[in-house]
Structure 1
């Protein structure tokens, strides 16, 4: 019966599908393209849903860090299908795949490691030198399509059927949040400031709460996000539009400043704010993706405060922890997904993410009208 079901599932796969195809900044089109064919070791999945992240928006809007300029080569290899926050169900297996079965619900880490460079050989696969990411190169097309292929190099996990789609689609961004908290090395009693209460910031608040900070402070320009941050575990929320956030944090810390500042917005003003807010010997963790270069006085980092500056990239080794945390509700998710749109309305989705007004995670639903 199982073999018959597998055979029947495979015969239902169409030859063509709808997909968003990116050609250039702002030139993203809904097109009919061929359904990919899984080769040896590969997996074909039918996409349930795909989130739009801030990085997707910055790519859509033409950030040089993605499309290149006179100072850096293009990272994007167009034309490609964007989307790296996806959940899918296996519909076909390539030759040699034995650890998964047709019908299983799965997710793949956003990076597709080469497994041959010095970083991959050391287990630091998230910094793979080749650095293919689903949704940014045409050899690893992403999830803004009805079907997508997990390559033979992919890191794939099963997703519990008990997770509703609006929770499951948060696994990828929450893995990034989890890794950021690991990088922050929060100690018991630390005063931790999270700048930005979007999807990543809210995921950081949930994960940071587990580390036992003395005070967890969330900053954002939107009060609805701050309200959600409080429900996720923030002890204090501040809005830089009306609050003197630096003065308030200094007041709460006897004038010293916060121990840890986690920057999630990708906005230059948030960087300046964090460098000013941190105590001497404090720790700055950068998570955000920037549209343009940021200039700061590095004397603050060295001569004045001797700060630790750390980056945080992707969510290595974090997916199992995040899946468990979402499942047992120790990582809150309620209210993060605010919009679910059919694939054909992808431009509306990007506009919602750009505005940020009453919108957080926007999810596209391939196959729905």
Structure 2
């Protein structure tokens, strides 16, 4: 039988500084008014988590660092409603025991972006797992969901692995939508990591003329073909630019989606895309990227679009998974307990895995 002290504690990963993440016993959260506490079923390790762990400047640099430690990381989570605060059942429309997911951003509801419905660009911009002001992240046994969070229910028929990719899938859907893919487009997705492979599945549903995926790992390219890519290119032994030119009458691709997270992915895309094409940037970079900016304006007049988070896309992601139109099969490759954190982050930050999940016991 658990002691009262044990009942108020839980195991969590706590980020203290770059490369200083510890498995700790911390106070278990409780639900206030219009708040939930969920029991975490799984939490994915994102590429941004790996870059944050390694000390990437965008997370830790500058006068106001993005990460405010100590904090429990993790934004790719889902779980079961364990506790309902006063009014929370009506506030969120959920009951005890239901599977739920909260969007990764906790909008303030007061800034110009929130008030205009563009909540994913909230000026305050609290995201689970990076700042503790609103709530910690999902790399723990339990997690508090604050009142301004956006919560969605997950149908019972969706597997644990599929439910665990709802957050990145929502990001992938938003990114593909930003590309405004047309039926006669040649679309290039650069990068076949977890997000790139989900984007491949979503872009395939748009039925472009040709869907091309570029990556350095043959096993990931094979998955991309399973997911609907018409052409895959490994730039280690193939001339990617020449191949794209050859299938577009030398013009270049219509849509280029950058999800490599490497500077070469940007310069490659600017060379590869046709004049008046649509360049969609999704990646989180660990270092600065330098390009010939005149390509965008003077030479090609490109439509450059960013893609951030997964606004209004969680219900779509859940529906696509429920209907079997998108899958985590082949993408989710590893699972670890919280206590196995050191091995989990090592595997996640390598080419030995695609998507790594933490599964609290």
Report the TM range for the smaller structure's normalisation.
over 0.9
Instruction: Report the number of matched residues.
Output: 354
Structure 2 distance, partners of 1:63, 1:55, is 9
For the Cα contact (< 8 Å) 1:232–1:332, is it kept in 2? no
Aligned to 2:22: 29
How does 1:228-247 map onto structure 2 within 5 Å? 228-247=223-242
Unpaired runs of 5+ residues, structure 2, are none
Equivalent position to 2:118, from 120, 124, 128: 124
CA deviation profile, 1:21-42 (whole Å, cap 9, x unmatched): 0011111000000001111110
Structure 2 distance, partners of 1:152, 1:296, is 43
How much does 1:329 deviate? 1.1
Structure 1 distance, partners of 2:356, 2:5, is 29
TM-score between the two structures when normalised by the length of structure 1: 0.94
1:303 aligns to what SS in structure 2? Answer: coil
CA deviation profile, 1:278-313 (whole Å, cap 9, x unmatched): 011111100110001111110111111111111000
For the Cα contact (< 8 Å) 2:162–2:327, is it kept in 1? no
Structure 2 distance, partners of 1:19, 1:12, is 16
CA deviation profile, 1:59-78 (whole Å, cap 9, x unmatched): 00111111123xx5201111
How much does 1:364 deviate? 0.4
Structure 1 distance, partners of 2:68, 2:306, is 24
2:328 aligns to what SS in structure 1? Answer: coil
CA deviation profile, 1:157-213 (whole Å, cap 9, x unmatched): 101111111111010000000000110001111000000111111111111112221
Structure 2 distance, partners of 1:58, 1:113, is 24
Aligned to 1:4: none
How much does 1:12 deviate? 12
TM-score between the two structures when normalised by the length of structure 2: 0.96
Change in Cα spacing, 1:182 to 1:151, as seen in structure 2 (3 Å) is same
Aligned to 2:165: 170
Structure 1 distance, partners of 2:327, 2:44, is 17
1:44 aligns to what SS in structure 2? Answer: strand
1:210 aligns with 2:239: no
- What RMSD, in angstroms, separates the aligned Cα atoms of the two structures? 1.3
For the Cα contact (< 8 Å) 1:49–1:366, is it kept in 2? yes
1:57 aligns to what SS in structure 2? Answer: helix
Structure 1 distance, partners of 2:165, 2:316, is 13
For the Cα contact (< 8 Å) 2:211–2:230, is it kept in 1? yes
1:304 aligns to what SS in structure 2? Answer: coil
1:176 aligns to what SS in structure 2? Answer: helix
CA deviation profile, 1:252-293 (whole Å, cap 9, x unmatched): 111111001000011001111000000111111001100011
Deviates more, 1:41-50 or 1:197-206: 197-206
1:18 aligns with 2:3: no
